[in-house]
Each structure stands twice: as structure tokens, then as C-alpha cells.
Structure 1
């Protein structure tokens, strides 16, 4: 009987056990799953590798604060990423 299972909590445990983080593109509720230790560069490669050539900077929204970062910035679980691309 699975009625009493807290699905959100179970999902949280599975994600942590697999060593994954959830990173959200700005204005999206669909997470990109990445390995723990991933960078902005890894995030872009997962979305659209051609964007790397157009990359200017990213803004990371974490804990209500926005920080301007580069490609090598280490992402954390539940980060929101806003990309600034050329053109």
C-alpha cells in the first residue's frame, strides 16, 4: 500500500543518493538534472552546446540573491540560472 508514501521526500532522497542536483533555467519550473559538482558550462552543454560560443555571463539566483558568474561557477541544488548570450 503506497498511500502513505511522501513522494516529494522520496524523490529528494533518490536525487541525493544518485549524486544529482536540480538546476532551473530562469522562468521555468522544469529542472535540468546534473551531476553534483557541475558548472554553468555543464548546464549550457545540457541545454544547447552551441550557446557556449555566445556566452557572455550567467546570473545565479540562490536564496533570493542574484550573483553574476562565469562558465566555471559551481552550481548547487535548486539554483536558478539566467543566461546572457551574444546576439
Structure 2
């Protein structure tokens, strides 16, 4: 049912960008990767069947003709997912887990847990954040020794400016500098600006003008 709704659980192996142009441009297909089940001629015929005769098509990674067709409608989305195998404390759980791993064939991450025994739940939380590309950022007020116990959640790759916006819009306008505590830094705290890229479990102290 998800596939019919053009929702993918497995991350696509490639990407197709179709830039429709004015009449007279003709079709230009740039392949930076590999066509798995088609040729450039097949792509041209497919596009013309949808009355697309003037466009620049860029293919990266590994794609199929179905991927090309999906890109025409621009409605296919990728939703990160994982498989949670519960009741891992049962006697036949390990055997069933092997069957499940064989069936999934590496397309999705699998984690075995036991809700009753509280087994694997901590790793489940970590895997959820990793799968969804979410990072946790802890903040502290100037003068306080300990950060807030509740973190802000942001998408991986977010900057200090994204954090400031999520706290309050005025923080960006009145921003002076920030201090960041992180194990990866050569020294902590480190004085940084709005373009600093945050990572999971960073501790941030924002100073305003």
C-alpha cells in the first residue's frame, strides 16, 4: 500500500532531476551514475510519451526506468524506517530474528528488544534518532553550571542559527556569540558563530547583545 502511495521505506539508490525548459531546447540527458534496466533512448521515449520534449534530465547514482517515471510526477517521497522485533526474551526469538533478517535482506535496520524485560530499549532510542537523522542539543544559560535536562531536537546538519530560531526568533537578531561544549572539539567550551554546525549531544550557551 505504501508503494502505491509512492512512499518509499528504503532509501533510493539514485536521484533523477528533470528541469523542463522552453520549446526548442530538446531533450538533454546527463548520466552521472548507472542506468540499471534502460538506455538513454528508453528514457527519451518515456519522456516523449508524457509529452516532455524539452528538458534537461540529470541522473545520479543507480536508477531504473521506474525511477525516471516517478520523477516526472515528483510525488515519490522517502520515509526512513526501521524494524523493531519485540519479545526477544522468548526461547525461539533468536531463530525468528534470523528469519526476519533474511527476509528484510539488509534493506532496513533491525533491532531486537524485549519490552517486558526492558532489553534493548535504550539502543532503540538511539537508533530512532540515527535513522531519522535527528540530533539532540542541550542548552544552558550563562552563569549556570548544568545544562537543561530536556534537549532541543534538530535535523542532522543544523547550525547554531537553526537552534537559535527554534528557541526564539529574537535570538538570531540579537545574537553576539555562543559557547559550545563537545567531545569532538579540541577544547571546550569553544566560542562559535551562527554558522557553526551542531552534532548530537552538543551543549550550547547563547549570548546576546
User: Structure 2 length normalisation: TM-score?
Assistant: 0.40
Q: Does 1:40 align with 2:176?
A: no
CA RMSD of aligned residues (A): 1.3
Give the deviation of 1:85 after TM superposition: 0.6
Residue 31 (1) aligns with residue 151 (2)? yes
C-alpha offsets along residues 27-83 of structure 1, whole Å, 9 cap, x if unaligned? 201111000000000001111111111100010001272110000000000000000
Unpaired runs of 5+ residues, structure 2, are: 1-86, 88-114, 141-146
Q: Does 1:3 align with 2:116?
A: yes
Structure 1, unpaired ranges of 5+: none
State the 1:13 CA deviation: 0.4
Aligned positions of 1:44-63 closer than 5 A: 44-63=164-183
Q: How far apart in 2 are the matches of 1:37 and 1:49?
A: 20
Q: How many residues align?
A: 86
After superposing on structure 2, the runs of 4+ consecutive aligned residues of structure 1 that deviate more than 3 Å are none
